[in-house]
């Protein structure tokens, strides 16, 4: 952890010397030595949780970052300042939304304290806001999780404190009526209460939080979007996202790790409605602190995170690559935004994952499939009708040929020969197949009495494509001839 104020740190060290002594002495020393702001209330707190030494302002981090833990495992007083800010931000490309936030982001900042810590919450409601707000931390043992004590109108700050009694990963959220709307607008975050003995060291820690958004406009509809209460009640979101917006944690914003890194994800689900089936494609969670508790489950593929719940998952990165992090209710991931990415760099290990070794033809029911595969290309596909070839050929012509020969087939005088009523094209025994197969490389040609000399590149077209293009060209702009078949092209190609 970033070192808390040095004075507090000094006291922490000093007081730890007394940790074996009677609690009464510790409290006495704490009160007299600190002589400062913290210690008044602790006399009334049960002895086993009373030994708070030092105080410091909490390090708050915005997702996907996680506050560092501290080495000192003694209980301390941690002061948390959170400001509620109502602001317009991007929900997706071109989609704007008025978010209600803790700390100006969705999710709100991550708070990290230790079991036994005394947490002093200062909740400020920005004077420019329109709504009252509060905070309900699931880590609180007390009415409303602090909601009642923290109800704050714009331009005010409320303060309350709580003892972090139970280790775990907890959601906090606004609980001001209408509660669902405050949560749906983005008012949620995570507070981690690490166990007294600390958490095992890992190489990388990240913070992800899923939430749904209910907009009047359909998914992808651009412009300013309003909250839609009907969709929220029906639990039919337009967006399901990690960390507040579509693409918050993909591409250039992906999580980063190296091969060999041990990764721990702190994952929350703000809801307000949906349960998350949390999964990282291509990783197995060898440890899951299910529902954010202290019980560890091993070797889990997908873990459920309830609305208003959390999970801690861990894995070791064995292979390089881009790993998609999803809600495995999979339409949410690929159609509504519930997609984040982890990019792992470093050397591949073929013993763990080979990558594709080969791609060969597959003929079900034929034990000799691969031997036969060689001959497979000689087999005729069902021949397309004239109308199908003409239609496909039109599309291919527009893409490949029209910029030179012109959409009307008249070409450009002196430069690109016409195809319309072209004696050069229509008089050819091979129907023009050879030209499409091989191109023209500066050979002089004569078309309808005019001379041309230029280059027509050899295009990478299949036999089927060539049959389509020639069927179209040889039956457009006054040209007329029978359908060109794929087997005609194949024959010419073989000659």
Q: Where are the alpha helices (H) located in 185-317, listed in sequence order?
A: 229-234
Per-residue burial over 401-415, b if 16 or more Cβ lie within 10 Å, else e, is beeebbeebebeeee
Minimum distance from residue 174 beta carbon to Cu ion (Å): 3
Question: What is the C-alpha separation between 421 and 476, in angstroms, rounded?
Answer: 9
Residue closer to Cu ion (CB basis): 133 or 485: 133
> Nearest CA to 267 among 231, 232, 315?
315
Residue closer to Cu ion (CB basis): 182 or 318: 182
Strands of the sheet containing 188-194, edge to edge, are 111-114, 188-194, 168-173, 136-137
Please calculate the CA angle 225-227-228 and round it to the nearest 5 degrees: 115
The token pair that represents 141 in the structure block: 């043992």
| Length reported for the chain | 495
Residue closer to Cu ion (CB basis): 78 or 184: 184
Minimum distance from residue 82 beta carbon to Cu ion (Å): 12
Residue closer to Cu ion (CB basis): 135 or 193: 135
Residues 6+ away with beta carbon under 8 Å from 438? 458
> Is 78 in contact with 8 (CB distance < 8 Å)?
no
Residue closer to Cu ion (CB basis): 130 or 379: 130
Minimum distance from residue 89 beta carbon to Cu ion (Å): 16
Minimum distance from residue 52 beta carbon to Cu ion (Å): 30
Minimum distance from residue 181 beta carbon to Cu ion (Å): 8
Residue closer to Cu ion (CB basis): 16 or 126: 126
Residue closer to Cu ion (CB basis): 52 or 191: 191
Residue 259, classed as helix, strand or coil, is coil
Minimum distance from residue 176 beta carbon to Cu ion (Å): 4
**Cis check: omega of the bond before 178, within 30 degrees of 0:** yes
Nearest residue to Cu ion, scored by beta-carbon proximity: 174
> Nearest CA to 39 among 23, 54, 58?
54
Minimum distance from residue 43 beta carbon to Cu ion (Å): 34
> Nearest CA to 456 among 374, 375, 401?
401
The token pair that represents 202 in the structure block: 């890992």
> Is 255 in contact with 340 (CB distance < 8 Å)?
yes
Please calculate the CA angle 205-208-213 and round it to the nearest 5 degrees: 175
* Footprint on this chain of Cu ion (rule: CB under 5 A): 133, 174, 176, 182, 187
Residue closer to Cu ion (CB basis): 177 or 381: 177
The token pair that represents 272 in the structure block: 């307000």
> Nearest CA to 464 among 382, 403, 374?
382
Minimum distance from residue 185 beta carbon to Cu ion (Å): 7
DSSP 8-state class, residue 449: T
Residue closer to Cu ion (CB basis): 132 or 320: 132
Minimum distance from residue 272 beta carbon to Cu ion (Å): 12
Residue closer to Cu ion (CB basis): 187 or 467: 187
The token pair that represents 190 in the structure block: 């995570």
Question: What is the C-alpha separation between 143 and 145, in angstroms, rounded?
Answer: 5
Minimum distance from residue 182 beta carbon to Cu ion (Å): 3
> Is 153 in contact with 132 (CB distance < 8 Å)?
yes
> Is 58 in contact with 112 (CB distance < 8 Å)?
yes
Residue closer to Cu ion (CB basis): 174 or 396: 174
Minimum distance from residue 129 beta carbon to Cu ion (Å): 9
Kind plus residue range of the DSSP H or E element containing 427: none
């Amino acid at each position: 952890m970033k070192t808390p104020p040095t004075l507090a740190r000094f006291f922490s060290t000093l007081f730890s010397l007394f940790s074996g002594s009677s609690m009464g002495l510790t409290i006495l020393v704490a009160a007299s030595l600190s002589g400062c702001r913290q210690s008044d209330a602790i006399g009334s707190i049960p002895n086993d949780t009373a030994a708070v030494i030092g105080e410091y302002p909490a390090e708050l981090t915005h997702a996907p970052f996680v506050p560092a833990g501290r080495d000192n495992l003694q209980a301390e007083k941690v002061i948390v300042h959170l400001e509620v800010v109502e602001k317009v931000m991007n929900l997706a490309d071109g989609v704007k939304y008025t978010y209600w936030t803790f700390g100006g982001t969705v999710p709100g900042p991550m708070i990290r304290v230790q079991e036994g810590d005394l947490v002093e919450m200062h909740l400020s409601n920005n004077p420019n806001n329109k709504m009252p707000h509060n905070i309900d931390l699931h880590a609180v043992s007390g009415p409303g999780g602090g909601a009642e004590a923290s109800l704050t109108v714009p331009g005010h700050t409320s303060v309350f404190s709580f003892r972090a009694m139970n280790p775990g990963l907890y959601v906090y959220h606004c609980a001001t009526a209408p509660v669902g709307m405050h949560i749906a607008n983005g008012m949620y975050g995570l507070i981690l209460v690490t166990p007294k003995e600390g958490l095992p060291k890992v190489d990388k820690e990240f913070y992800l939080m899923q939430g749904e958004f209910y907009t009047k406009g359909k998914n992808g509809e651009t412009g300013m979007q309003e909250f839609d209460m009907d969709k929220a009640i029906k639990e039919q979101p337009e967006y399901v996202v990690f960390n507040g917006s579509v693409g918050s944690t993909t591409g250039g914003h992906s999580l980063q790790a190296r091969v060999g890194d041990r990764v721990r994800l702190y994952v929350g689900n703000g809801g307000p409605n949906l349960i998350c089936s949390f999964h990282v494609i291509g990783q197995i969670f060898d440890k899951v602190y299910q529902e954010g508790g202290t019980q560890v489950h091993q070797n889990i593929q997908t873990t459920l995170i309830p609305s208003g719940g959390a999970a801690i998952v861990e894995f070791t990165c064995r292979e390089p690559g881009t790993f998609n992090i999803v809600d495995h209710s999979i339409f949410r991931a690929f159609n509504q935004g519930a997609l984040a990415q982890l990019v792992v760099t470093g050397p591949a290990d073929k013993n763990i994952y080979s990558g594709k070794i080969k791609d060969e033809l597959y003929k079900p029911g034929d034990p000799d499939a691969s031997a036969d595969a060689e001959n497979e290309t000689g087999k005729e596909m069902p021949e397309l009708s004239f109308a199908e070839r003409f239609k496909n050929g039109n599309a291919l012509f527009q893409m490949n040929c029209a910029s030179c020969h012109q959409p009307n087939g008249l070409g450009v005088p002196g430069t690109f020969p016409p195809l319309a009523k072209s004696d050069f094209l229509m008089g050819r025994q091979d129907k023009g197949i050879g030209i499409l197969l091989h191109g023209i490389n500066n050979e002089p040609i004569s078309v309808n009495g005019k001379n041309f000399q230029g280059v027509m590149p050899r295009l990478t077209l299949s036999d089927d494509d060539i049959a389509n293009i020639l069927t179209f060209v040889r039956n457009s702009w006054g040209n007329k001839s029978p359908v060109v078949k794929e087997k005609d092209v194949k024959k010419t190609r073989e000659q």
